[in-house]
Amino acid sequence: VQLIGQLLLFLCAYFWLLFFEIPRLFTVYWVNLLVSFYLAILMLCLLRSLLMSYWVSSKIFIPEKDDKKMSTLKCLKCGSVKPDLKTHHCKTCKSCIKGMDHHCKLLATCIGYNNYPYFISYIFQVLVTATNYVAFTIPYLYTSLYVKSAVIESTPPFLMCLLGFGTIFGILILIYNHLKFLSNNILTIDYQCYMDLDKRSKLTINFREAGKYLYAY
């Protein structure tokens, strides 16, 4: 449901730009065509990153019983063999996720070792898309409100413009957090573990090694 909602939102915003705002802002045909082509490429890249983030799985499956090369780390909840200490069990997905970063409620899937690059690409492209939408919508709103005084006509793009500003603000915070985690060689779940241990105990725990305390869960 979350995935379909995002797809519909992006497609509606794209077609609104393509058929309503772009023709009014760019009256020259070749400029109109060039901008439409740019937005189409941007939208295709965004949709690819969104779908790859959802479809590419980082789940660890239960190995065969006669496998002699099994690791000594086993999940206490699903019995899967963990290849490293960065593999954690997700209560929502009910399986172990290799290199688990977090469970993304917006995408309804876990972000881990295999799909984390697509997720980072996705949030960067959402930032670029939202910025472009706001940049194209502001001149359209100015023309509708102050030149033609078309209040009703400007209501949908005004609401979408507010949504665009909110998206830009939220994505900037998200990118800042992930860059901070990557610079310290930790994952989101490591940071959550660190904060949880810091609140519950008086132990002095290294920020970079907090994820090791999650290996059995």
Q: Looking at residue 216, what is its pLDDT?
A: 41
pLDDT of residue 215: 44
pLDDT of residue 29: 82
Give the integer Cα–Cα distance in Å for 167 and 131.
9
Per DSSP (E only), the strands in 138-211 are none
What is the tens place of the pLDDT at every residue in 30-64? Answer: 888 898 898 889 889 999 999 998 888 877 765 54
90-133 pLDDT per residue, tens: 888 888 888 889 998 888 889 998 999 999 999 999 999 999 88
pLDDT number for residue 23: 78
**Under a CB-based contact definition with an 8 Å cutoff, are residues 58 and 97 in contact?**
yes
pLDDT of residue 172: 95
In this prediction, residue 217 carries a pLDDT of: 43
- What per-residue confidence (pLDDT) applies to 89? 87
At 139, the amino acid letter reads P
Tell me which of 1-5, 61-65, 189-193 is least confident.
61-65
User: For position 161, what pLDDT does the model report?
Assistant: 81
| The pLDDT value given to residue 66 | 47
Percent of the chain with pLDDT over 70: 77
**106 or 217, which is more confident:** 106
Task: Return the DSSP state at 196.
Answer: H
Residue-level pLDDT at 21: 74
Q: Which residues contact 101 (CB under 8 A, 6 or more apart)?
A: 111, 112, 116, 119, 187, 188, 189
Residue with the larger pLDDT of the pair 15 and 24: 15
Q: In what order do the strands lie in the sheet with 59-60?
A: 59-60, 95-97, 88-90
In the block, residue with structure tokens 């190995």? 63
Looking at residue 10, its pLDDT comes to 83
